[in-house]
Structure 1
Amino acid sequence: MTATPTSAPGLAPAAAADPAYRGRPGAGTTVALFAACYNDTVWPGTPISTVKVLERLGVRVVFPRKQTCCGQIFTNTGYAAEAIPLVRGFVDTFAAFDYVVAPSGSCVGAVREQHHQLAERSGDAGLVREVAAVVPHVYDISEFLVDVLKVTDVGAYFPHRVTYHPTCHSLRVAQVGDRPQQLLRAVRGITVVELPNATECCGFGGTFSVKNPDMSISMASDKARHVRETGAEVLVAGDNMCLMNIGGVLKRQRAGVRIMHLAEILASTEEDPA
């Protein structure tokens, strides 16, 4: 399923073609960036940071411009029939690529868990086959770096005290395990402190936070309290929506804690600090 150069318009130059990148872990590898619609709309710095990290390692990154939502929000709120066209769009967009990389454990988890179910529901045997072919090639950025490129030290520099929140979907659905922590611990200058009760939900849960605001605020407040207990300067996670939820509480509390996506820290260097 290797993509040709014309499979998708490039987001950035083909780093693998530059002699300076030869010998790097990702040299000769092409990936399609699955930005995730909420990142593309609200947090474009996250997919941009993802590209920076991948290109630093010699990977050629392309951005298929026809990509859109993976359908998770429709599926989670009971609109499965409306999500099926988005599944068709996803496989049509990414079928040509050997690797599809996303800075979102939640969206990667949704593709893995929900796309099979939705394809079966559609009754379209062709779509079932296409989903089965594409889904195994979809990776969270932490999985791609650790499992495919076999690297944990990506050349990052971030001299700050951080704590990591493993989001529910990245931990339980995408099952990224401790890969994000492996990457963080390899960052030069960083101090990583354990977050108490780290695996507890932050209270976002997509529309859960809208339908159950009081409970969501209570859960986010508990999470924010644990973050403050660590003395961390920065809270890091692999999903921006969860960071938004916790970060909103921290901001109202004037806690002075920054929220940052994992990719942003990995993109940080002495020459270009985050």
Structure 2
Amino acid sequence: MTVGLMVTCINDALFPDTGKAVVTLLRRLGVDVAFPSAQTCCGQPMVNTGYLDEAVPLLRNHLDAFAGYEAIVAPSGSCAGSVRHQHRIVAERSGDPGLVHAVEAAPPVHELSEYLVDVLGVTDVGAYFPHRVTYHPTCHSLRMLGVGDRPLSLLRAVRGIRLEELPGADECCGFGGTFAMKNAETSIAMGNDKARHVRSTGAEVLVAGDNSCLMHVGGLLSRQRSGVRVMHLAEVLAQTEPVVHSVTSAGSAPTREPAVGSGAPTEGGPR
């Protein structure tokens, strides 16, 4: 199966390691991954702020860029949710029956954890991450997509991990795209609540499926000098245990190849 990686704007511009981790992970599981270079914004910011007509060219570009793939995988519940639920609204508003049909016939879009659990049928992806971790389910993944416990089932299967339950996990972190800019004080207050809950777990690492939320909460954790780091789910799942080779000659020590990924998350925000 060849899937198209919908890397999303924020990952392409700010967090490219997340896209690389998705490719590493899926190829390790035997999936052929392609990156359509013509992809750009899915149109979510325009739709969310009421500019549906302006989203039409972006919708058409998305359809053209991902035409011919068997499926689309996105490391973002927010953007996957936008394509699945908002593209039809935009197409219908455009008054173009051909565009509506194109949306209906487009390849299915899966958030990463959905693709791993529902399509590939795996929860143990061979990951190794010896850190104390807590998981934040982002709003769009939780409410718009309904990913449920899929990310947690993937994390529970990671060797070496210590997974801590996050109090108030289903509460919004306060980012919300333009909400954080238009309602900064409220956004920061909500983010501080989330950061407080994260710190209460004693976790070293906060994991989520959307880098936008990690950027928001991670920035607050960094300013609080909490020592808590943030990582995208894909980057945790891409980590593997170092390979120890057998002794090759008398008296020589075994050699160790590095794991895929450093295994050492970056403090503050996503890379």
Instruction: Please report how far the alpha carbon of residue 78 of structure 1 lies from its aligned counterpart in structure 2 after TM superposition.
Output: 1.5
Note the 1:27-106 alignment, pairs <5 A: 29-106=1-78
Question: Pick from 177, 202, 206: which aligns with 1:231?
Answer: 202
Count residues with an aligned counterpart. 245
The corresponding residue for 2:216 is 245
Residue identity opposite 1:103 in structure 2: P
Question: Pick from 174, 187, 192: which aligns with 1:203?
Answer: 174
1:177-200 per-residue CA deviation (whole Å, 9 max, x = no partner) reads 111001000000001111001000
SS of alignment partner, residue 160 of structure 2: coil
Question: Pick from 139, 160, 179: which aligns with 2:150?
Answer: 179
Distance in 1 separating the partners of 2:160 and 2:44: 37
1:59-107 per-residue CA deviation (whole Å, 9 max, x = no partner) reads 1111110000000011111211111111111111112111100101100
Distance in 2 separating the partners of 1:38 and 1:81: 22
Distance in 2 separating the partners of 1:225 and 1:238: 20
SS of alignment partner, residue 61 of structure 1: strand
Distance in 1 separating the partners of 2:106 and 2:156: 31
Distance in 1 separating the partners of 2:146 and 2:87: 16
1:214-243 per-residue CA deviation (whole Å, 9 max, x = no partner) reads 000000000000000000000000000100
The corresponding residue for 1:109 is 81
Residue identity opposite 1:180 in structure 2: P
Instruction: Please report how far the alpha carbon of residue 118 of structure 1 lies from its aligned counterpart in structure 2 after TM superposition.
Output: 0.1
Residue identity opposite 1:249 in structure 2: L
Residue identity opposite 2:113 in structure 1: S
Distance in 2 separating the partners of 1:64 and 1:113: 22
Is 1:131 equivalent to 2:103 in the alignment?
yes
- The percent identity for this pair of structures is 64
Residue identity opposite 2:48 in structure 1: N
Note the 1:123-162 alignment, pairs <5 A: 123-134=95-106, 137-162=108-133
Residue identity opposite 1:214 in structure 2: E
Residue identity opposite 1:75 in structure 2: V
TM-score norm. by structure 1 comes to 0.88
Is 1:260 equivalent to 2:231 in the alignment?
yes
Gapped regions of structure 1 (runs ≥ 5): 1-28
Residue identity opposite 1:130 in structure 2: A
Residue identity opposite 2:219 in structure 1: G
SS of alignment partner, residue 78 of structure 1: coil
Distance in 2 separating the partners of 1:42 and 1:203: 20
The corresponding residue for 1:25 is none
Distance in 2 separating the partners of 1:133 and 1:153: 32
Instruction: Please report how far the alpha carbon of residue 269 of structure 1 lies from its aligned counterpart in structure 2 after TM superposition.
Output: 1.1
SS of alignment partner, residue 153 of structure 1: coil
Gapped regions of structure 2 (runs ≥ 5): 242-258, 264-271
Instruction: Please report how far the alpha carbon of residue 204 of structure 1 lies from its aligned counterpart in structure 2 after TM superposition.
Output: 0.3
Distance in 1 separating the partners of 2:10 and 2:145: 18
**Greater Cα shift, 211-220 or 91-100:** 91-100
Greater Cα radius of gyration, structure 1 or 2 = 2
Residue identity opposite 1:89 in structure 2: N
Instruction: Please report how far the alpha carbon of residue 122 of structure 1 lies from its aligned counterpart in structure 2 after TM superposition.
Output: 0.5
Aligned CA RMSD, in angstroms, stands at 0.8
Distance in 1 separating the partners of 2:147 and 2:45: 21
TM-score norm. by structure 2 comes to 0.89
Residue identity opposite 2:56 in structure 1: I
Distance in 1 separating the partners of 2:152 and 2:37: 31
